[in-house]
Amino acid sequence: MISVQEAQEIINQNIPERKQQILPLKKAFGYTTAEDIYSRYDIPNFSQSSMDGYAIRFEDKNLKLKIAGEMPAGSTEYFTLENGTACRIFTGAPLPDGADTVVMQEKVSVEDHEYLIIEDPDLEKGMHVRDAGSDAQEGSIAISSGNYLSAAAIGYLAGIGCTEVKVYAAPSVSLILTGNELVKPGENLDFGQVFESNSYQLESVLKQCGIETIESVLVKDDLSEVSKALHSAILKTDIVILVGGVSVGDYDYVIDATRKCGVKQRFHKIRQKPGKPFFFGTKEEKLVFGLPGNPSSALTCFYVYIAPLLSKIMMRPDITAKTSALTTSAYQKKSGLMHFLKATHLDGQVTPLHAQESYRLQSFAEANCLMILKENSEGCGKDEAVEVIILK
């Protein structure tokens, strides 16, 4: 068995070369830019009013000004503002030629619907005007390579006229669920059977990681079936995650299937609880993981190892974050394995939950973090500082 840190290092040493793809802007949310994106225009491409009011020449602010016209948003007609005149203007409208300042409509009075008197002693030149190119300049970098495309970033790129972006591609993933005892939710549950839940939780967290192409297949505990499913998955997808059958029992065929399919084993067991029988191997650029079948173990291993890997491949933010917290109660364990306990984190404190057994998901459904107890420790005392993995 190897340590958790050794396992993480081995996985990081086998990250495949990142792939790139061009996506329509509306489908690029959640991805990360793979190149610098340049603005093709000045944005805005004209001087623009940021208020409803009146466009003036600042030098005329103390005069009674004749209202000479109107500029609504969307106007494409050029209008020149002469000395001693003002123009009614609306938010987003282009400034007339010659105007350099906008006065808010709340700070003027109008005589006979024709003449404007400015009543704003604090008015400054250029006030309430968005200069051309103030949001993006033609030929400048709008968003650099390596930036996460949030909703705001997508909106900004649309606002500069961008229609598609080059991003780091999401790998495709296959899930192979093994077990004679598994039946799908909705089917009758007979004696000796359990509902298959791992595909539901793992597909959900894969989507949270930005993975869209996921293929799931359920196979029996049979070497031929597992090998056939694994061979097909390796051909079709970038990452294969087998769930169950990864230990050394008489009906555990995952390790034999990986050998049969030419997968190079990088490690098999880790000094941790839950999830000790965890497999990682490679075949050329393809990555193969074997997770324990117990749902809590499978999900814990995913958060600790696979989620960080996907973030590195896609260059996107992690769905977990490490911090430290003070325990609200003591917890005892034997030295020799690192423990990941389902827990709740609030206001700098962490509370381990009930039902820590690897087959139980009830407490995991309540948890918002994993509390870490180090390999060589015998637990923790109350108010002791421990490391915590926050689950976002």
pLDDT digits (tens, 9 = 90+) for 110-151: 999 899 999 999 999 999 999 999 999 999 999 999 999 999
Residue with tokens 């097909």: 232
Q: What pTM was computed for the model?
A: 0.89
Question: So what CATH class is 4-19+170-314?
Answer: alpha beta
pLDDT at 250: 74
- Spatial separation of the C-alpha atoms in residues 58 and 318, rounded to whole Å: 51
Tell me if 304 sits within 8 A of 295, measured CB to CB.
Answer: no
Helix (H, G, I), strand (E, B) or coil at 376: coil
pLDDT at 247: 87
Cis peptide before 72 (omega within 30 of 0): no
Smallest CA-to-CA distance from 62 within 114, 110, 121 is with: 121
pLDDT at 77: 86
Helix (H, G, I), strand (E, B) or coil at 195: strand
pLDDT at 252: 84
The end-to-end CA distance of the chain, in Å, is: 30
Instruction: Answer positive or negative: Cα dihedral of 143, 146, 151, 154.
Output: positive
20-42+134-168: CATH topology: Molybdopterin biosynthesis moea protein, domain 2 (3.90.105)
List beta partners, residue 387.
324, 372
- Burial (CB count within 10 angstroms: exposed 0-12, middle 13-18, buried 19+), residue 346: exposed
Q: Would you list the domain boundaries of the chain?
A: 4-19+170-314, 20-42+134-168, 48-130, 320-391
Residue 111's Cβ-side half-sphere holds a number of Cα atoms within 13 Å equal to: 8
48-130: CATH topology: Molybdopterin biosynthesis moeA protein; domain 3 (2.170.190)
163, two tokens? 């229609």
Residue with tokens 């996907």: 310
Smallest CA-to-CA distance from 149 within 38, 315, 30 is with: 30
- Burial (CB count within 10 angstroms: exposed 0-12, middle 13-18, buried 19+), residue 116: buried
pLDDT at 374: 97
**Within the chain, which residues score under 50 in pLDDT?**
none
Considering the four listed CATH numbers 3.30.360.10, 2.40.340.10, 1.20.1440.230, 3.40.50.2000, the one that applies to the domain covering 320-391 is 2.40.340.10
pLDDT at 286: 98
Residue with tokens 């040493």: 13
